[in-house]
Amino acid sequence: MDHQTPGTTAPTTGSQQSSNAPHREGRNVWVLTAYGISGLTLFGVLAYYFSQYLAN
């Protein structure tokens, strides 16, 4: 009774349904970019205050 003809697809299950979700491969790139920019900004602020400390 459960015989399927070649070329037909099986009913979708929970694990197969998740593959229909939007592809978000590039999200990690944006997160790393945000961390990089934040880190460079923090480094710049610290370098500014350090140079002001040395100048006085």
For 21, half-sphere exposure in the C-beta direction (CA atoms, 13 angstrom radius) is 8
Return the pLDDT at 52: 96
Tell me what percent of the chain is helix, strand and coil, each rounded to the nearest 5. Answer: 65, 0, 35
- Contact assessment for residue 4 and residue 10, using Cβ atoms and an 8 Å cutoff: yes
Q: What is the pTM of this model?
A: 0.50
Residue-wise pLDDT tens for the chain (56 aa)?
A: 556 666 666 555 555 555 666 666 688 999 999 999 999 999 999 999 999 999 98
Return the pLDDT at 7: 64
Return the pLDDT at 14: 53
Domain ranges for the chain, please list them. 27-56
What are the Cα distances from residue 26, in Å, to 1, 16, 30, 49, 54? 44, 21, 7, 35, 42
